[in-house]
Amino acid sequence: MQQYIARRGDTVSRIAARHGLTPEHVIQGNPWAGRQPYLIPGQILFLPSAPRKRYAVQQGDDAWSIAALFGVDVNELEKLNPGVGSVYGCTPGKVLVIPPAAPHKVVHLRGEYGPAEVEADIIQLLDQYPFLQHESIGSSVLGKPLHLLRIGRGPHQLHVNAALHANEWLTSPCLMSFVEQYAAAYAQGKDWNGHNPMDWYSNWTVWAVPMANPDGVELVQEGGLPGHPYYDELMAWNGGRSSFRHWKANIRGVDLGDQFPAHWEEEQARRGVPGPGPRDYGGTAALSEPEAAALAQLAERVPGDAAVSLHSQGGEIYWNYRGYEPLESRALAAQLAAASGYRAVELTGSDAGYKDWFIQRFRKPGFTVELGVGKNPLPLADFEDMALETGLILASILSNFK
């Protein structure tokens, strides 16, 4: 057992990933950590040694084939198994200790994916792919940058945003993963799941905001502890509950999904939520919150040919808005549904969303995509499937929409 002192930003999942453990391993050694919603900086945890993967050498194996089998570096294999590369180092039946595989992608989950992970991954992606462009389109209420990644040089513009709702943060690495896979395929001149990223790059410019609500995401993942600038208000708005896993709003208790000037007043009357809270309060006015205002200003600055807002969950694609949508929207939604296995849904009785405003303002196709199925926040194990589905939906727009 080793002793670990929790720091700000730590969660059970993040600590487990950092030490080669599973969350269950951490909780097993610290049962109290499974009963409280968040770790408190200064709490002491006892961590077991990371369990080692082992492998019994088979006939015909050598160090290089075993390293390739497990996706590890042969030098790392040698460190744990001295002499493994020698003539007698891979005798059939010999048990080897296998080192953990290094992640082969920049965007991967090491526990919850929050504002710090977005920033770290952006730095690596920009270093690896110089043709990616980055800027901040504004700041959150608490001053966190609202990052924008741009890829492509085409005349058509596609706007994509994720994590507008705080407890739907798993959409953020899904969008980041697509940006990375697109960039990698373009750099290598390879197809991506049957699509041609070279065509995407010359025909489209993608404007991706991977985390539109960073303050809210951090609140869901790490909680609101004493000393937080909104601590008293958050506890009151949350009904005294210490867990914020259900929280959708930004840090001021405003639901950014109800912030856009598309029949905003009607949506507020329909919701009937009088003040700040975890969800459904649209604020004092449309675009009163800096996060929503920044997305609207970006779309006004670069009018888009299409837009996608990534949410979770339900496995559905919403494509219409009060008849403002162009004629091609229905057919395009059917294409996106066929590509992803989701359902294209004609939605009524909802206003003030990003998709609603985009359709009404620009009369161009706009989509709300509800990734995954389950209860938010969705489990980390769903990330790989959701990331692929995100890519297939965006690829369908980039490849088929004219």
Residues 152-189 have pLDDT tens digits of: 999 999 999 999 999 999 999 999 999 999 999 999 99
| Average pLDDT over the chain, rounded to an integer | 95
CA angle 172, 173, 178 (to 5 degrees): 105
Return the closest-CA partner of residue 359 out of 294, 317, 306, 286.
Answer: 306
Residue 223 lies in a domain: no
**CATH code for position 80:** 3.10.350.10
Residue 231 lies in a domain: no
Look at residue 401 and tell me whether its pLDDT is greater than 70. Answer: no
135 given a catalytic annotation:
no
Contact status, residue 227 vs residue 144, Cβ threshold 8 Å: no
Residue 201 lies in a domain: yes
Catalytic residue chosen out of the listed positions 78, 370, 384, 389: 370
**CATH code for position 203:** 3.40.630.10
Look at residue 29 and tell me whether its pLDDT is greater than 80. Answer: yes
Residue 236 lies in a domain: no
Residues 315 and 206 in one domain: yes
Write out the residue range of the structural domain in which residue 20 sits.
2-47
Residues 73 and 187 in one domain: no
Residues 73 and 201 in one domain: no
Residues 19 and 66 in one domain: no
Provide the pLDDT for residue 184: 97
Contact status, residue 242 vs residue 37, Cβ threshold 8 Å: yes
Residue 136 lies in a domain: yes
Residues 34 and 128 in one domain: no
Residue 275 lies in a domain: no
Residue 156 lies in a domain: yes
Tokens of 212: 């539109």
Contact status, residue 208 vs residue 390, Cβ threshold 8 Å: no
Task: Please state, in angstroms and rounded to a whole number, the distance separating the CA atoms of residues 17 and 149.
Answer: 27
Residues 19 and 85 in one domain: no
